[in-house]
Amino acid sequence: MKFDWDDGNINKNLFRHGVHDWEIEDTFLDSQRISLGKNNVHGEERHILFGRSEVSGKYLRIIYTIRVSAQGEKLIRPISAYEMSNTDRKLYLRKGGKRR
């Protein structure tokens, strides 16, 4: 699993929502993560992921898209990441997510 970080999104979520890039990457490793639907925004397919960063313990909601590199590799490009609302967290835990 590779991520697409560049000047447009590196540290963006840290400044806006207090979420480090490494927390986003760590959340994608959560075996209990939940991926909800796809949405088209500006002609781009966006995904929503609910998961927990094992390292920080934060329950995160991540909006991301999949890009393809020049070499044909699929890359995860995080768009937005922030801590789950109480409603999001209840859904995550009800679906089998980890409680800390």
The answer to whether 40 and 28 have CB atoms below 8 angstroms apart is no
d(CA 89, CA 74): 28
> How many CB atoms are located within 10 Å of the residue 30 CB?
19
- Residues 84-96 have a mean pLDDT of 91
The answer to whether 34 and 97 have CB atoms below 8 angstroms apart is yes
pLDDT band at 99, cuts 50/70/90?
low
Which pTM does this prediction carry? Answer: 0.89
pLDDT digits (tens, 9 = 90+) for 18-66: 999 999 999 999 999 998 877 777 778 899 999 999 999 999 999 999 9
- Higher model confidence: residue 20 or residue 96? 20
Please, which residues bridge with residue 17 across strands?
A: none
Going through the chain in order, the beta strands assigned E by DSSP cover 2-3, 34-41, 44-52, 59-68, 74-83
pLDDT confidence of residue 43: 76
